[in-house]
Amino acid sequence: MEQPSFLAYRNYRYLKITGLVITAALIAYLLARPAGGAAYGGTIFGYALGIASALIVLVLTWYGIRKRRPPKVPERREADRRKFADTDATRCQSNRRVINAEESWRHGTTLQGWLSMHVYLGIALVVLTSLHAGFRVGWNIHTLAYVLVLLVCLSGLYGTYAYLRYPRLITENIGEESLDDLLLKISEADELATHRATDLPSEVKTLVSRACRDTRLGGKFIQQISGRQHDCPTKLAVERLRELGKELVDGDQPRLIRDLYTVLLQKQRLVDMVRKEISLNARMRFWLYLHAPLSIALLAALLAHILTILIYW
């Protein structure tokens, strides 16, 4: 019952379109390739490719606007068709009614369709701009635009990979729990551990209080991504407690240690889960913070490129 991914949208419709676009561009390039690598961008095909690229960039950027503008269809329909509206008996034939992305396409677009198009056209863009530039680079505004295209597309490619990979891992890690619940449980475990450590030697108390205080869950970007903490105090406490268990054998101590150990072990499991959740989420999302600003920078560079061309050509 898992759904097809956005890459497969409508039976790979946009992959097919992209294939055609790239083939057309290659043919155009081969036909018009100026001997000796002269400025290709200036030829008629060069212009065409440039303009096509710019249009694609606009369409791709539009995705960001479209995404934040939910399927706003201004016309609302008459929700209840009039009782005796029409007499033809054709409408009652379809027995099935699955409202899914497929069906609603006929009436309004789905964001899934837009993303599928976005990804494939983005890939086509790499080819198109490369051909348009005639593979010439230099320290100039033109190349800046080109490099930005490459960067945006690279981050986009990573994003596609991330979107295909991480959601599943996130569910597998955290299942039905929520981050808030886990944090709550961790703070409960902290309380319980502190409580259980009260009658134990001060070394244990220090271990526990450090585990409560210094265990880091999120942190800076790199720490979030890594999902680890060097010398994690909870982990240290667990390990140290295991050793201490052999040493502290007087009276009630073995039982107290065992109780405490169970709590800390539990906490360690929770901490690992939270860190993994944070890490997976960070990996799934961080690229967008490059992708979106860079695409705006690209827009600016593109504008500059075109202006330069218009002024100096």
Binding of another protein at residue 9 (CB under 8 A)?
yes
Written as six digits, the tokens of 59 are 């369409």
Other Cβ atoms closer than 10 A to 196: 20
What's at 13, amino acid-wise?
R
Binding of ligand HEM at residue 70 (CB under 6 A)?
no
Contact string 81-110 vs ligand HEM (x = CB under 6 A): ------------------------------
Question: Residue from 16, 67, 81, 258 that binds ligand HEM (CB under 6 A)?
Answer: 67
User: Vertex 98, ends 167 and 113: CA angle to 5°?
Assistant: 50
Question: Residue from 21, 28, 152, 274 that binds ligand HEM (CB under 6 A)?
Answer: 152
> What is the CB-side half-sphere exposure of residue 274 using CA atoms within 13 A?
21
Written as six digits, the tokens of 3 are 């759904």
Q: How far apart are the first and last CA of the chain?
A: 57
Smallest gap from residue 258 Cβ to ligand HEM (A): 48
Q: By C-beta, is 47 or 286 nearer to another protein?
A: 286
Are the C-beta atoms of residues 127 and 25 closer than 8 Å to each other?
yes
Smallest gap from residue 78 Cβ to another protein (A): 8
What angle in degrees, to the nearest 10, is found between the helix axes of 179-197 and 202-214?
A: 160
Q: By C-beta, is 42 or 167 nearer to ligand HEM?
A: 42
| Residue among 114, 50, 60 at smallest CA distance from 296 | 60
Backbone angles phi, psi at 311, to 5 degrees: -80, -45
Binding of another protein at residue 4 (CB under 8 A)?
yes
Q: By C-beta, is 36 or 70 nearer to another protein?
A: 70
Question: Residue from 293, 300, 303, 307 that binds another protein (CB under 8 A)?
Answer: 293
Residues 6+ apart with CB under 8 A from 202: none
Question: Residue from 36, 86, 202, 231 that binds another protein (CB under 8 A)?
Answer: 86
| Residue among 163, 119, 122, 120 at smallest CA distance from 286 | 163
The site for another protein, by CB under 8 A, has a size of: 68
How would you class 64 by CB atoms within 10 Å of its CB: exposed for 0-12, middle for 13-18, buried for 19 or more? middle
Residues that bind another protein (CB under 8 A): 1-6, 9, 64-65, 67-73, 75-81, 83-84, 86-87, 89, 91-92, 94-101, 103-104, 107-112, 114-115, 163, 166-168, 170-171, 175-176, 178, 184, 187-188, 281, 284, 288-289, 291-293, 296
User: Where on the chain is the footprint of ligand HEM (CB under 6 A)?
Assistant: 39, 41-42, 47, 50-51, 53-54, 57, 60-61, 63-64, 67, 115, 118-119, 122-123, 125, 129, 132-133, 136, 138, 140, 142-143, 145-146, 149, 152-153, 156-157, 159-160, 163, 288, 291-292, 295, 298, 302, 305-306, 309, 313
